[in-house]
Amino acid sequence: MGLTAQTTSVIEGTVLDTQGLTIVDAEITVSGPGLGHDIKILSDSTGSYRVPGLQPGTYQLQVAKAGFAVQVYKGLVVTVNRILPFHIVLAVSNVQAEVTVSARAPLLETASSSSGATILPQQIEQMPINGRNYLDLLQLVPGVAVNRRVDEGSDTAVPILGERGGNTIFLIDGMPNSNAVDGGPAAPFDQDSILEFQVLTAGYKAEFGHGSGGLVNVVTRSGTDHWHGRFSLFHRNSVLDSSDVPGKRTPFLLRWDPSANLGGPLLKVLNRANPAAVEQFQNLSIPVGKPLQSLPGRQGQVGVRIDF
């Protein structure tokens, strides 16, 4: 079981009326596809509320109080390891009414001293990645550099803010996934099995520890109350590549990257199973003693993905 404090998030805030006065005992209901059941809490004597232990995903908040119109917030996006301030305003209403609005999370985290960014599911699915290694998206985070001239598992492959790459902490669902010998992640994961990941470059809390070069906090996909799956097959072949060096042939490369995911409810209590099968086959040839001058001018890649 993962360390939930490092992967889950919190929604907190205050329930107010239109005049800015706090509302006591307002019922807040949180629902979402990743929850086994709805979460219901009441605002306290100061009008404050707090909903901890939320996995990354999209949620809906419904707030109700006698004498006020029911307020429904849809599409509230919660990312990994975040305290999300979300204040609620209820309007007085003598009749039973419901107001539905689109929820927008604040862009800045004023309560956090850490710096970094979160790579969202849309970026993992839509950004083109050479080799389908999701960690290549670290380049989107300010202060992170990817050194292509060294082996990707070496200590100088991914320095963060000038630190040695081996000082970076890698977590997968809250559990340690760092290679203590060579640096980098210990176990590889397929791109399709990753939901999102957070990259903290500095100022993160002591709960993480064991490193000074940054933190890569990865969350994998989980099941929901509905069965769903994904099958993908990506193929690269040097026959489809072109060389940008006149008279030189492209290095031999033959790569197959199949993967499959299946998720759904096992039991009503255990409803987040998502096993994944991943395999990668690659053959390549690099001339000994002749470093590659440049990358191919055109890279051929054939891919297919089926979601259901």
**From CA 178, how far away is CA 162, in angstroms rounded?**
19
Which residues, 6 or more positions from 288, have their beta carbon under 8 angstroms from its beta carbon? none
Comparing 222 with 115, the larger pLDDT belongs to 115
Lowest mean pLDDT among 12-16, 183-187, 257-261, 264-268: 264-268
Q: How far apart are the first and last CA of the chain?
A: 27
**From CA 230, how far away is CA 130, in angstroms rounded?**
20
Comparing 177 with 30, the larger pLDDT belongs to 30
Q: Is 271 left (phi over 0), alpha (psi -120 to 50) or beta?
A: alpha
CATH 2.170.130.10 in the chain, residue ranges: 115-220
CA atoms within 13 A on the CB side of 93: 15
Q: What is the helix, strand, coil percentage profile of the chain, to 5?
A: 10, 40, 50
Over the stretch 188-210, which tens digit does the pLDDT of each residue have? 787 888 889 999 888 777 777 77
The pLDDT confidence band at residue 235, using thresholds 50, 70 and 90, is: confident
Average pLDDT of the residues in 26-42: 90
CATH 2.60.40.1120 in the chain, residue ranges: 4-102
Give the angle 54-55-61 at the CA atoms, nearest 5°: 50
How are beta strands 83-85 and 9-17 bridged, if at all? parallel
3-state secondary structure (DSSP) of residue 273: strand
Strand ranges in the chain using DSSP code E only, listed in sequence order: 9-17, 27-31, 39-42, 48-54, 57-64, 70-78, 83-85, 88-90, 98-102, 115-119, 169-172, 175-176, 194-202, 215-220, 228-237, 253-263, 276-278, 281-284, 301-307
pLDDT at site 87: 92
CATH of the structural domain 4-102, one choice from 3.30.300.30, 2.60.40.1120, 3.20.20.70, 3.30.465.10: 2.60.40.1120
Average pLDDT of the residues in 68-86: 90
**From CA 71, how far away is CA 4, in angstroms rounded?**
29
> Which DSSP state fits 242?
B
Over the stretch 85-121, which tens digit does the pLDDT of each residue have? 999 999 998 777 777 777 777 777 776 778 888 999 8
Residue that the structure tokens 């760092």 belong to: 178
pLDDT at site 271: 45
Over the stretch 20-32, which tens digit does the pLDDT of each residue have? 999 999 999 999 8
Question: 26 with 100: CB under 8 angstroms?
Answer: no
Question: 81 with 116: CB under 8 angstroms?
Answer: no
pTM score above 0.85: no
297 pLDDT higher than 50: no
Lowest mean pLDDT among 163-167, 169-173, 177-181: 163-167
> Which DSSP state fits 148?
T
What is the homologous superfamily of the domain 115-220 according to CATH? TonB-dependent receptor, plug domain (2.170.130.10)
172 pLDDT higher than 70: yes
3-state secondary structure (DSSP) of residue 123: helix
| Other residues' Cβ atoms within 10 Å of the Cβ of residue 270 | 10
